[in-house]
A = this chain, B = another copy of it.
Amino acid sequence: MSRAETSRRGGRSSRAGIRDVAAAAGVSITTVSDALNGKGRLPDATRRHVREVADRLGYRPSAAARTLRTGKSGLIGLTVTTYGDEPFTFTEFAYFAEMARAATSAALARGYALVILPATSRHDVWSNVALDGTVVIDPSDQDPVVSELVRQGLPVVSDGRPAGSLPVTAWVDNDHEAAVLGILDHLADAGARRIGLLTGTTTDTYTHLSTTAYLRWCERVGQDPVYEAYPAHDPCAGAVAADRLLARPDRPDAVYGLFDPNGTDLLAAARRYGLRVPDDLLLVCCSESTVYANTEPPITTLSLKPRRIGTAVVQLLIDAIEGVDSEQPVEQVIPTELIVRTSSQRRPPRTTVSPPRSPENR
């Protein structure tokens, strides 16, 4: 007791520890711990007394000590794949921003916090933070980071179905093939005769699945594929690719762009070539941005529902962390949403096509 008092380094500099609270309340360390965590069997009077003393001393339990003892840190890693020199692209596109935001909210609601980590990092950064689990966005084939984490016994949940035989604990994804087929059918219904695709050169599963779905659709309906691919992380390359697509001799009369900026790029290219949208060219792109509601004309977009994905990923991960053997499948598919606007309707109905939605789309 007096030892606990004097073992403090003389000064009052250090924050109050559990020993100080115990001494001030006249009880033992065990009682303090039990009282604050609601664990043991204590009379309410003691519990209240200890809590009041702790508040008065401004006691905050040490997160490091708690983590060391319990083995749980309450931290979840959030990893995004990287392109080029920048440590990560994070929010090149609105998708990541929305997804990360939803994931953070969901984690917070269950008492966890998110740590942003780069996929390509030296081990020192990763091992410097105690994680309970990790969310991986779009893991690449044979991702070494994922393998290492799984080897350490940490749960890993991925946004995007893992390529190859990546041993993730669970994953969440859209049905990209169904989404692309739906869009192509939608465009064909609107009168498109030759549908082009603006796609990427990267090998992630989203690009791959979408492109092969397009190719298979073309084969089925007997249309020659018309597409341009470009490195998706380079916005300038996107504008150039959009221009090239509309400059082709076999110019498409409808285009689906896989990436967020494709809409404005295609619109600008169409203007350069004197093509009217939707009269001469139908347009759809995959985007989470609200700007496409106010462009001239408004552009039909496919939403991957990143909010729902981010939430689902975190729920799955925390369930795995806390050992809740959820009976749900470890693979979860989130439906996409096609927001139909003027750009994909050859004969725009004079009624408001999409009812004025509230900003809150749940």
A residues bordering B, Cβ < 8 Å?
Answer: 15, 58, 60-68, 73-75, 86-91, 94, 97-98, 100-101, 104-105, 108-109, 111, 113-118, 121, 123-125, 127-130, 151-153, 234-236, 239, 243, 247-249, 261, 264-265, 267-268, 271-274, 289-291, 294-296, 353-354, 356-361
Question: Would you mind naming 14 contact pairs between A and B with Cβ atoms under 8 Å apart?
Answer: A60-B127, A63-B73, A64-B130, A90-B104, A91-B98, A111-B128, A113-B116, A235-B290, A248-B359, A249-B360, A264-B291, A264-B294, A267-B294, A272-B353
* CB closest chain-B residue, reference A89: B101
Give, as a whole number of angstroms, the nearest-CB distance from A121 to chain B: 7
The reply to whether B97 and A111 form a contact with Cβ atoms under 8 Å apart is no
CB contact under 8 A between A356 and B294, given known A64-B73, A101-B88: no
Residue of B nearest to A267 (CB): B294
A91 touches B91 (CB 8 A): yes
Name the residue of chain B whose CB is nearest to the CB of A357: B247
CB distance from A151 to the nearest CB of B (A): 8
- Tell whether, in the assembled complex, residue A108 and residue B87 are in contact, meaning their CB atoms are under 8 Å apart: yes
With A97-B97, A236-B358 already in contact, 13 other A-B pairs whose C-beta atoms are closer than 8 Å? A60-B127, A63-B129, A63-B130, A64-B130, A68-B68, A91-B97, A91-B100, A104-B116, A261-B291, A267-B296, A271-B296, A272-B354, A272-B356
A359 contacts B234, C-beta separation under 8 Å:
yes
Chain B residues whose CB sits within 8 angstroms of the CB of A123 once the complex forms: 60
Report A359 CB to chain B, min CB distance, Å. 4
Distance of A90 Cα from B239 Cα, bound (Å): 28
Copies in the complex: 2
Residues in B whose Cβ lies below 8 Å from that of A234: 359
- Residues of chain B within 8 A (CB-CB) of A86 are 101, 105
- Residues of chain B within 8 A (CB-CB) of A272 are 353-354, 356
Chain B neighbourhood of A100, CB < 8 A = 90-91, 116
| B115 in contact with A113 (CB, 8 Å) | yes
Residue in B closest to A239 when the chains form the complex, CB atoms? B294
**In the bound complex, what is the Cα–Cα distance between A98 and B86 (angstroms)?**
12
Whether A130 pairs with B62 at a CB distance below 8 angstroms is: yes
Bound-state CA distance A111–B267 (Å) is 43
Q: In the complex, A296→B271 CA distance in Å? A: 9
| Other-chain contact of A359, B97, B104, B151, B249 (Cβ < 8 Å) | B249
Query: Contact check: which of B91, B129, B239, B289 meets A74 at CB < 8 Å?
Result: B129
The reply to whether A68 and B75 contact each other, CB–CB distance below 8 Å, is no
Contacts of A105 in B (CB 8 A): 86-88
When distances are taken between beta carbons in the complex, the residues of chain B under 8 Å from A114 are: 115-116
> How close is A224's CB to chain B, nearest CB, in angstroms?
16
Chain B residues, Cβ within 8 Å of A64: 64, 67-68, 73, 130
Q: How far, in whole Å, are A236 and B15 apart by their CA atoms in the complex? A: 47
A265 to B298, CA, bound (A): 12
Q: Check A101–B111 contact: CB distance below 8 A.
A: no
Which of A87, A88, A121 has the most CB atoms of chain B within a 10 A radius of its CB? A87
